[in-house]
Amino acid sequence: MMDVAITAVLDEHPVGMVWRRSEKVVWINALARRLWDIDARSLSRLCADGSPDEQGEPALDMLRIDGQTYAIGVHRHHADQIVMLVPVGDGTGLFSSINRLQQSALDFEEIFRHSFDGIFVADGAGYTLMVNEGCERNYDLKAADMVGRHVSDFEKAGWIRPVVAAQVARTGQRISTTQHTHAGKTILVTGMPLLDAAGKVRKVVINSRDTTELSQLQDALAQTREKLRQVDEENEVLRLQNLHVPGAILRSEPMKRVADLAARVARVDATVLITGQSGVGKDVIANLIHRRSQRADGPLIKINCGALPHDLLESELFGYEPGAFTGAQRSGKSGLIELADRGTLFLDEIGDMPLDIQVKLLQVLQDRTITKLGGTRTRTISVRVIAATNRDLRAMVEARTFRDDLFYRLNVVPITIAPLSERRDDIAPLVLHFMNEFNERYACRRTMSEQAMALLLGYHWPGNVRELRNVVERLMVTCESDVITAEFLDGVLPNEVLEGEPNSFRQRVERFEQRLVEEAVRKQGNTRDAARLLGLSQSSVVRKLRRRVE
3-state DSSP helix/strand/coil percent for the chain, to nearest 5?
50, 20, 30
Class of 4-90 in CATH:
alpha beta
Q: Is residue 403 pLDDT above 90, yes or no?
A: yes
Cis amide prior to 162 (ω within 30 degrees): yes
Is residue 137 classed as helix, strand or coil in its secondary structure? helix
In angstroms, the CA 153 to CA 164 distance is 12
253-418 under CATH 3.40.190.10, yes or no: no
State how far the Cα of 282 lies from the Cα of 276, in Å rounded to an integer: 7
Nearest Cα residue to 517 out of 527, 503, 507: 527
Model confidence pLDDT, tens digit, residues 6-37: 777 777 878 888 888 877 888 888 888 888 88
Same fold, 4-90 and 112-213: yes
> Which one is predicted more confidently, 353 or 102?
353
Relative to beta strand 160-161, strand 128-131 is: unpaired
pLDDT of residue 502: 45
Per-residue pLDDT reduced to its tens digit, 292-311: 899 999 999 998 988 888 77
Give the pairing of strands 128-131 and 319-320. Answer: unpaired
Closest CA to 395 of 380, 407, 385: 407
Fold category of 426-549 in CATH: Helicase, Ruva Protein; domain 3 (1.10.8)
390, pLDDT greater than 60: yes
Give dist(CA 54, CA 237) in Å, integer: 89
- Domain ranges in the chain are 4-90, 112-213, 253-418, 426-549
Burial class (CB in 10 A: 0-12, 13-18, 19+), 306: middle
Residues in the chain: 550
CA-only gyration radius of the chain, Å:
50
The amino acid at residue 40 is: A
**pLDDT-wise least confident of 67-76, 144-153, 219-228, 501-510:** 501-510
What CATH number was assigned to the domain covering residues 112-213?
3.30.450.20
Query: Residue 64 in contact with residue 70, Cβ under 8 Å?
Result: yes
Q: Residue 505's pLDDT is what?
A: 54
